[in-house]
Chains A and B, each alone.
Chain A
Amino acid sequence: MSNDLGQIKDVIIGGKHKEIEDLVKAAIKKEEVSLDSIINDAMIAAMDIVGQKFADSEIFVPEMLVSAMTMKKGLNIIKPLLQGDASESKGTIIICTVKGDMHDIGKNLVTMMLEGAGFNVVDLGVDLSVEKVIEQVEQVRPEILGLSALLTTTMPEMKKVIEALEEKGLRNNVKVIIGGAPVDAAFAQKIGADGYGDDATEAVRQARRLIAEN
């Protein structure tokens, strides 16, 4: 890996958000460094390490948020320059936090990781009613719908969304991934979801799997 990519990777892992833009701009100017490598070998690779550190309790949400913010600042410089394969969407994903739940940190981290992995993500925000989610699925026609809930009091909303997709005849056209502190793989299976992500890194893995199976 080039020194430029290594430095970009390090500042993302370390959350040095003030340094990322200059490093990315400098890397872009070098012929031997491709945009694709900046994204895949530096940024996504860095976030994979950040995700692992989080899973191992070496870092916590505050540090992960700063790393994600740092990656996004770098990605914003690259995005307008992307052409061809690198800019080709890996698939469209609608994501939201379910009705009655205003918590969005996990959803935002997953969104950032999915965008970094090349997916087109439509973030509907928080506190989304079943009706609003269905309306957006009908309109956007995503390959995947991601549902997030932090509270045990709001996790039943996930089941309601899946039931509504079935009632509207939309269930066969969209895969559903769920995530959030109170839910697990067993709950995902019980309510008929197609995947469960324990953290943002796993959410990306699940999205890749479901798109590949499609």
Chain B
Amino acid sequence: MKSTGHNLIMSALYNGRKGDRPPAGNPTSIVCQDLMDACGVSFPQAHLNADAMADLALAGHEILGFDTVMPEYSVHQESAALGCDVNWGDRDTMPDGKSFPYSDFSDIEIPENILEKPSMRVVLDALSILRRSVGDKVAIMGKVMGPWTLSYHMAGTQNFLLQIGMGENEKVIKMMRQLMPVTIAFANAQFQAGADVVCLADHVTGDLASPRHYQELLLPLHKEITPQIGGPLILHVCGNCNDRLDLFAEAGFEAYHFEWQMDAKSVVKKVGHLMSLAGCINNAQVLYQGTPDDAYTQARYAIDAGVNIVGPECAIPLTTPLENLKAIVTAVCEGY
């Protein structure tokens, strides 16, 4: 197998041939101020303009050396299309939702042309630009939000979790079922536009919900979603999810993107035979506050543990130094 970024990522997703080194990949954003400055593209343009979005994604490969290009830097593309007010931020600020249009859990009106809404179309166009630009040199990664995360955006996170605490299961399942088609349609459209793999983020994180909540409320929906999407999926759930890894492995995802707070060796041992694993370099202490040596050491640990795709555990702080990100690439380039 030729060890192109594309081949290494795709093979890693299926735990296939290893090539001469593990790939560095980013299911979530690796954009920081230094990267924006280096390529001359900044937020908010990179959320709103397809060319700017694609250019910034390319910088992840051309400047940092990652084996993936991932052009979605917010978690609000779908929620904006569904009627949330979104502040798209600037060079110093990540985008944020400003309103929760369905806090009353009323029926969600999904626009028939939702894929043509500007916040959705821009991602699809950026993926197509990347397809034409990188060919099969690196893997093109898309990103969609799952119904749990979309419900946070529609109803407000606290409100959504409060309903769960109060046992209003029917209400929360109804909302997620109404949102599921958005996840499926956006993911399939991303594959059609040029994505090789799509990250599906659904934040049923250990900090916010229990494994029982996942098992009863979301796992059945994930099991319905995954067969309806025509390409490989990486599940992203941040936080400590040790207590629900086996449930994630039942849901039909090709890979799971996890955080450093779960020990890589233990995660690989537990579910590495059931799904590929991506991650898990720590953001807060290592990439943001640490040194290139710290990042290198964690990346080597992840490689030794058997993590298939090495990269940051989650969207990085905007003030992350470029050198810390490059240290991940240095570590993977040393091979196994």
Q: B288-303: which residues lie under 8 A (CB-CB) from chain A?
A: 288-289
Cβ contact within 8 Å between A62 and B317: no
- CB-CB under 8 A from B165, the residues of chain A are 15, 61-66
Please give the distance in Å from B203's CB to the nearest CB on chain A. Answer: 10
Please give the distance in Å from A211's CB to the nearest CB on chain B. Answer: 28
Cβ contact within 8 Å between B316 and A181: no
Cβ contact within 8 Å between B209 and A102: no
A35-43, A134-142, A150-158: which one contacts chain B? A150-158
- CB-CB under 8 A from A64, the residues of chain B are 165
Known: A155-B284, A181-B239. A62 touches B164 (CB 8 A): yes
B157 on the A face (CB < 8 A): yes
A69 on the B face (CB < 8 A): yes
A17 on the B face (CB < 8 A): yes
Known: A62-B213, A66-B166, A155-B288. A105 touches B316 (CB 8 A): no
Q: A17-58: which residues lie under 8 A (CB-CB) from chain B?
A: 17, 57
- CB-CB under 8 A from A100, the residues of chain B are 89, 93-94, 96
Please give the distance in Å from A113's CB to the nearest CB on chain B. Answer: 15
- CB-CB under 8 A from A162, the residues of chain B are none
Cβ contact within 8 Å between B161 and A62: yes
C-alpha gap A99/B314 in the complex (Å):
19
C-alpha gap A123/B148 in the complex (Å):
28
C-alpha gap A17/B316 in the complex (Å):
39
A1-9, A165-173, A184-192, A201-209: which one contacts chain B? A184-192
Cβ contact within 8 Å between A102 and B317: no
Cβ contact within 8 Å between B319 and A156: yes
B318 on the A face (CB < 8 A): yes
Q: A116-162: which residues lie under 8 A (CB-CB) from chain B?
A: 127, 151-156
C-alpha gap A98/B201 in the complex (Å):
24
- CB-CB under 8 A from B166, the residues of chain A are 15, 17, 66
Cβ contact within 8 Å between B283 and A182: yes
- CB-CB under 8 A from B289, the residues of chain A are 187, 190
Please give the distance in Å from B238's CB to the nearest CB on chain A. Answer: 8
- CB-CB under 8 A from B285, the residues of chain A are 184, 186-187
C-alpha gap A100/B318 in the complex (Å):
11
- CB-CB under 8 A from B316, the residues of chain A are 152-153
C-alpha gap A156/B93 in the complex (Å):
11
Known: A61-B207, A152-B283, A155-B288. A108 touches B158 (CB 8 A): yes
Question: Besides A62-B208, A181-B239, A190-B289, 16 other CB < 8 A contacts?
Answer: A17-B166, A57-B243, A62-B161, A62-B165, A62-B209, A65-B161, A65-B165, A99-B93, A100-B94, A100-B96, A152-B317, A154-B317, A156-B318, A184-B284, A186-B285, A187-B289
- Top 4 nearest A-B pairs (CB, nearest first) are A62-B165, A66-B165, A152-B283, A182-B284
